Chain A
Amino acid sequence: MLLYILKRVLAGVVVLFLITVFTYTVFFVLSPDPAYMICGKTCTPDRIADIHEKLGLDKPFWEQIWVFLSGLFVGRDYGEGVNALHCAAPCLGYSFQTSQSVFEMIVQRLPVSATLAVGAAVLWLFAGIGGGLIGAVKKGTWWDRGIMVVALSGISLPNYFVALALQYLLVVKLKWLPFPTAVPFADDPLLWFQSYIMPWFVLAFMYAAMYTRLVRSNVIDTLGQGFIRTARAKGLDTNVVMGKHALRPALTPALTLFGMDFAALLGGALITETVFGLNGVGKLTADSITQNDQPVIMAVTLLAAALVVVANIVVDLLYSVLDPRVRVKAQ
């Protein structure tokens, strides 16, 4: 088992390394020169050369990658002499636009994205699993059809449309809610809840729809299996049959999906955060792309990739807990 975990972690590290090199290469080859963004109106060729030197962009490509990678583990130095700036590990560099430490920028914004992800996940798991179960058990009834229609609209309506429509209806028209602000829970619990409820709903609506369909088809599939008939024939209580025997195998594919979805959300919900003006990692990503802020884009890409890789490993380990067949393979 330990060897299995080690293998998985090692594979994850390799994937992250490749993603880092790939992302850096894309920027190196395709990206506009950041020196222009930095020196703006008062550019001269000298000034551009100075900026290149200061940011280490005058070095050959492999050296740049090496400096970036080693910066992650041992930190790196910018400039030299009296103004030398040491960026401690894990060093993700400084924003080209604002000169802030990218690591700090992300740490500052993670709580918002985490709040969004956790709240939305609770909602969509509850709605998705519940809806899927009801749909499966009441297959073909109006219950089932109603749930499926809602799920279909959740999948087909674009995220930004739902967000804008909801905000217009609840905030502007009905005035039930204020315009969202990313206020910490401790400062004002009521405003916190009022601010996050809409984005939670928007995200949950999208994901719950997928989960409902997935759970429904899996449960229907499982209910048709032989071991369920056996369980019923043994005279087990319907609830036990459903809960213990039907739901558990039906949920494993949903778990895989959940690990990925949740990790991706932690890495920022671009559209939802932008529409509601919540400054999480997603908004940071959107902003850094528009401003071509390379170090920040690098960092959020790495963060998102790392989250997905970790989620994958965690899900695989949980699998072996849930499903005895996997455990055997792992050993």
Chain B
Amino acid sequence: MKKRNVVLGLGLAAALALTGCSSGGDSASDGGSSGEAVKGGTLHVLATTDFSHLDPAQGWDGGVNNFYRLIYRQLTMFAGGDSENPTEIVPDLATDLGTPNEDNTVWTFTLKDDIFFQDGTPITSEDVRFGVERSLDPDIAVGSPYAKILLDGADEYEGVYKDGHLDSIETPDDKTIVFHLNQSYADFGSAVAQPVYTPFPAEGDVTTTSIDKQPISSGPYVVSEYKPGSSIVLERNEYWEPDSDEVRKAYPDKFVWTLGLDNSTIDERMIANQGDDKNAISGIILASSLSRIQEPSIQERTLEGLKGCTTYLALNTTKEPLNDLKVRQAISYAIDKKSVQTATGGPALTDIANTMLPPTVKGHQDFDLYPSEGGEGDPEKAKELLEEAGYADGFELSLDMRAVPVTQAQAESIQESLAKANIDVKLNVVDTAKYWQIIGTPSQQTDAAIAGWCPDWPTGATFLPPLFEGSQIFDQGNSNIAQFDNEEVNKRMDEIRAMTDVEEANKAWGELDKQILESAPAVPLTWEKAVTVTGSNIANAHLHEGYSGGIDYAVVGLKSVDE
């Protein structure tokens, strides 16, 4: 299950704080779930689905990345959910964020002391190299692509088992590792926080499939029991040195996941707050449970924040009349986002989006190029534009949508608001399982589609290129659903990627967002929120902006432990 499935509504969905202020529940009083935590106890997690993979070379979605924080370490990592700025990248196994050469094509990292695998063997640069080389094996490479895309020669490399070592990773000594990239990449310090950079014992008997069954931990916990689809139990890793780790608090002695529960049962349990469920956290509640969590006693243990993903309407710029800028702008004006918000669950569950980048992304800029009164759409303005474009009598538009209730409701509200501008929308309902295949295949998609995107880490770099870069249009597995291929935008993306200053690049992505939307290849619709209820004995629970996984497992704990 990959990130795009977060949009599919599978897995623990994202939850994160609004930039500039902590998320609603985070500021709760000491009685709430973000109070002081103590060491010890067993923390329970109630979940609907199993994790895709325990092997970090293969798993790659918000929920599982968050889980990996407990058992795996990488060179760098996101700061804790309880810190000032959770999406800041901080050193983990490395002593710093890496030292680049002049043009950011060669990166050197030095490892800390006192870092061990779960059997007490020290972690060396060889182990980090082996972990990355292993992840590049095509037989398992279904996880994060940020080693394959960036490392020199990785695209032709078949993994450590077939091809031996990859020349572009050097280990001059046990503490030093050097990466040679195939491009200038200023944000490489963020890339090495991806799960594929997890070390594994180079001298061990790790195979392509063994980690999925029996993980080898480098983090504060080890997997002591795993029943696929039913439960996972983590216990403390005695060889993890707290002093070598600035982020992970590792409060509980034990984590117990109960998997495969029905979503409504989870909500029921979290609201009832009985027995062990007092020490439990879970994912996002169902919209239907919203009315039941309004009591102050439950509100006090409720966290909410943005998921960090954008739901948008992609307009296929290769189709008539959508290849006309004025027509796309007309659609951007006509859509009643207020009603789309209502269809998605109302203001409690979603915010109206006017930009492609959500506020959680660094460098996000707030603007609205196609404003209307109360966000309710401006059909008059749309009609004017259509007239200018020569479609005074409107036209017919086919909209691809998944057969799920919320998308159905969103599509119907789009249909209604476009009808006011004489655009006759025909809904093309596609089976959920086939949806991404169809809209990701240019020969099969129709005029427009409702889609969503979550970034790999909160920067424009992992958000805008996959959706709007010309070179990203593929015959299959295409993520640029608008098939937007604009020379200026393509050029600007190359320029931003060449920037050596990450802050500056982030800002530039924010500006590019505006430049792209001037061409209106897509209409941002909503930013969905995560609302989650915690048990009454949960402490230091913070939604994390870097994970679509909600509560940061690395810092959450219990208020009190009965001994």
Contacts and interface: CB of A to CB of B under 8 A. Distances in A.
A141 interface: no
Most buried by B among A48, A82, A172: A82
A109 interface: yes
Contact of B227 (A108, A167, A172, A274): A108
A79 interface: yes
B461 to A, nearest CB: 15
A179 B265 contact: yes
Interface in B429-443: 431, 433-434, 436-437, 440
A37 B434 CA distance: 9
Nearest to B259: A279
B50 interface: yes
A277 B261 contact: yes
Interface in B461-519: 466, 474-479
Nearest to B434: A32
Interface stretch (A95-103, A200-208, A308-316): A95-103
A32 B228 contact: no
Interface size class of A (residues with CB under 8 A): 35 or more
A45 B442 CA distance: 12
A210 to B, nearest CB: 26
A75 to B, nearest CB: 16
Contacts of A221: none
Interface residues of B, number: 55
A81 B477 CA distance: 28
B396 interface: no
A283 interface: yes
A100 to B, nearest CB: 6
A248 interface: no
A43 interface: yes
Contact of B474 (A32, A43, A171): A43
A182 B230 CA distance: 8
A32 B437 contact: yes
Contacts of B259: 279
B437 A33 contact: yes
A32 to B, nearest CB: 4
B260 A167 contact: no
Most buried by B among A43, A54, A283: A43
Nearest to A50: B138
B208 A44 contact: no
A172 B269 CA distance: 8
B1 interface: yes
B409 to A, nearest CB: 20
Contacts of A167: 265, 268
Interface string A275-319: 111010001100100011000000000000000000000000000
B467 to A, nearest CB: 11
A261 B436 CA distance: 38
A300 B433 CA distance: 19
A164 B478 CA distance: 42
12 contacts: A41-B466, A45-B474, A47-B477, A83-B139, A83-B207, A98-B50, A99-B209, A99-B212, A105-B228, A172-B272, A275-B262, A276-B265
Interface of B: 1-5, 10, 49-50, 52-53, 58, 60, 137-139, 142, 144-145, 159, 161-162, 207-209, 212, 227-230, 258-262, 264-265, 268-269, 272, 274-275, 277, 431, 433-434, 436-437, 440, 466, 474-479
Given A39-B2, A39-B477, A83-B159, 13 more contacts: A32-B437, A36-B437, A39-B142, A44-B477, A45-B474, A45-B477, A54-B139, A83-B207, A98-B228, A105-B229, A276-B265, A277-B260, A283-B260
